[in-house]
Every structure is written in structure tokens, then in C-alpha cells.
């Protein structure tokens, strides 16, 4: 089974930062050949997707793109929203249900289920974040990311044993691919990805530096 290394930049990086990040990554031969059995995806702010897509193609990098969110509506009069089909022009993946969206933007299970169905219809690969083993998971989700709130950005990850037991429970509920996320770094990623039910990691802070992102891919 392939290991998924998915970076979530959150609200970080401007155009020049993203270009420099890709330049640094392009200096590593592994990024052109691709690492065996690894799938690497970066989810930048929407504003960077087009330029990054063009640069990834130009440089021939083994890197895929995704968005961090999508609208719960189809195209139309919804000022400020970006639809799943608009995302699909630029990337293959979308993160839905991150705890920061649930907390700061009051996204409910019902709203998230609507986003999932629109993302599915648009042909996106859906990475759905859950905060525990019992979080509702809508029909149509492709990848489930277990992200305990205490571990996000705190420097204190869950234990690999507990992450494995939650991942196993999520697989028992029908999840095909399960990731762990929350304070994953190059020096601890293997303790998670070596667990039998964990197929990769969703990474915030440690994906912001190109060298660290490459180390995550190598070590996973
Ligand atoms: P972190 O964030 O790696 O910075 O803890 C993970 C996430 O929120 O996806």
C-alpha cells in the first residue's frame, strides 16, 4: 500500500514564497523521479494553486495539488466562495472537515456532508478530517485523516499506539485509507506510518519548509 504525505499550508505563504518552496524542492532529484510507494500532495491557499500547477508541470515534479476547503454550493451567487468544480481545474484533492474549519467557521456535520457530495460530483479525491473514532463520516469520502485537536500545532502528537487504535476503528467503520495528523515531523513520521492501519500523514507546520517536506516523504 502506498503512503500518503499530504501537506496543509493553511493560511500561509504568498506567491513568491510558494515559488521559492518549489524551486528548493526541484533541486532534489527524488522530486523528479518520485519516491517509490509514496504519494505526495500539497494543499496551499487557493490563490497559489494555478501558479503552482504550472510550475509543477514545467519542472516535472512528482507532486500533486489539493485545496483546503470548497464551497457547500454549486456555482452561482455565493460571494467569496470557491466551488469544488473550480478547485478541480487546478488540483485533484480537497481537504474537508478540518477542525479549524469546524471551530472558526462553525462548519457542522450536515454542511460538511454537503461539501463532500459536491466534491465527489466534481471528481475530487476527498480527504476528510475526523477528530476521533466516532466522528460522522459522510458517504463518498476517499481518505480519512484522524487529527486529534490537542495534537494540532501543539508539538505534542498523539501516541502512535493510540493513533493506530483509532485508525483501526476507522478502518472497521469502512475507511479505505487512514492518515494521522497532528504535530507530525520528519523525526516522528515513521512511528505513525509504520503502524498497520495508518497509510500516511496530514502535515501542517512541517510541510512549510521544502527540506522538511522532502524529509517527511523520505522518512514515512
Ligand atoms: P500540524 O497541523 O502538523 O501543524 O500539527 C496538522 C493539521 O492541522 O493538519
pLDDT tens digit string along 11-39?
999 999 999 999 999 999 999 989 999 99
Point out the ligand 1 atom lying closest to the alpha carbon of residue 99. Answer: 8
| The CA-based dihedral angle spanning residues 125, 156, 133, 176, taken in that order and rounded to the nearest 10 degrees | 30
Burial letters 154-179, b for 16+ CB under 10 A, else e? eeebbebeebbebbbbbbeeebebbb
Instruction: Give me the DSSP letters along 124-183.
Output: PEEEEEESSTTS---TT-SEEEE--GGGTTTS-PPPHHHHHHHHHHHHHTT-SEEEEESS
Residue 204 confidence (pLDDT): 98
Give CA angle at 149 (148, 154), nearest 5°.
105
Q: Which residue ranges in the chain fall short of pLDDT 70? A: none
Residue 76 confidence (pLDDT): 98
Residue 213 confidence (pLDDT): 98
Nearest to 127 by CA among 152, 145, 140, 150: 145
Residue 1 confidence (pLDDT): 85
Catalytic residue among 98, 100, 107, 164: 98
Residue 83 confidence (pLDDT): 98
| CB of 118 shorter than 6 A to ligand 1 | no
| CB of 164 shorter than 6 A to ligand 1 | no
Residue 18 confidence (pLDDT): 98
Q: pTM, whole model, 2 decimals?
A: 0.98
Residue 16 confidence (pLDDT): 98
Supply φ then ψ for residue 125, to 5 degrees: -90, 120
Residue 117 confidence (pLDDT): 98
Mutate which of 4, 7, 8 to test ligand 1's pocket (most atoms within 8 Å of Cβ)?
8
Amino acid at each position: 500500500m502506498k503512503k500518503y504525505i499530504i501537506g496543509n499550508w493553511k493560511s500561509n505563504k504568498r506567491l513568491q514564497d510558494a515559488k521559492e518552496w518549489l524551486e528548493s524542492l526541484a533541486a532534489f532529484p527524488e522530486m523528479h523521479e518520485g519516491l517509490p510507494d509514496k504519494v505526495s500532495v500539497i494543499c496551499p491557499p487557493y490563490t497559489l494553486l494555478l501558479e503552482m500547477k504550472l510550475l509543477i508541470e514545467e519542472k516535472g515534479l512528482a507532486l500533486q495539488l489539493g485545496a483546503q476547503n470548497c464551497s457547500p454550493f454549486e456555482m452561482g451567487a455565493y460571494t467569496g466562495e470557491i466551488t469544488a468544480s473550480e478547485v478541480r481545474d487546478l488540483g485533484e484533492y480537497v481537504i474537508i472537515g478540518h477542525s479549524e474549519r469546524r471551530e472558526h467557521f462553525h462548519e457542522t456535520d450536515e454542511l460538511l456532508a454537503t461539501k463532500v457530495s459536491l466534491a465527489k460530483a466534481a471528481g475530487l479525491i476527498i480527504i476528510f478530517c475526523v477528530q476521533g473514532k466516532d466522528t460522522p463520516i459522510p458517504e463518498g469520502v476517499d481518505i480519512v485523516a484522524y487529527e486529534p485537536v490537542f495534537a494540532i500545532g501543539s508539538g505534542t502528537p498523539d501516541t502512535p499506539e493510540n493513533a493506530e487504535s483509532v485508525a483501526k476503528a476507522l478502518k472497521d467503520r469502512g475507511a479505505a485509507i487512514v492518515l494521522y495528523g497532528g504535530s507530525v515531523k520528519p523525526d516522528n513520521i515513521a512511528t505513525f506510518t509504520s503502524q498497520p492501519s495508518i497509510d500516511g500523514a496530514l502535515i501542517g507546520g512541517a510541510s512549510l519548509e521544502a527540506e522538511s517536506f522532502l524529509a517527511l516523504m523520505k522518512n514515512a
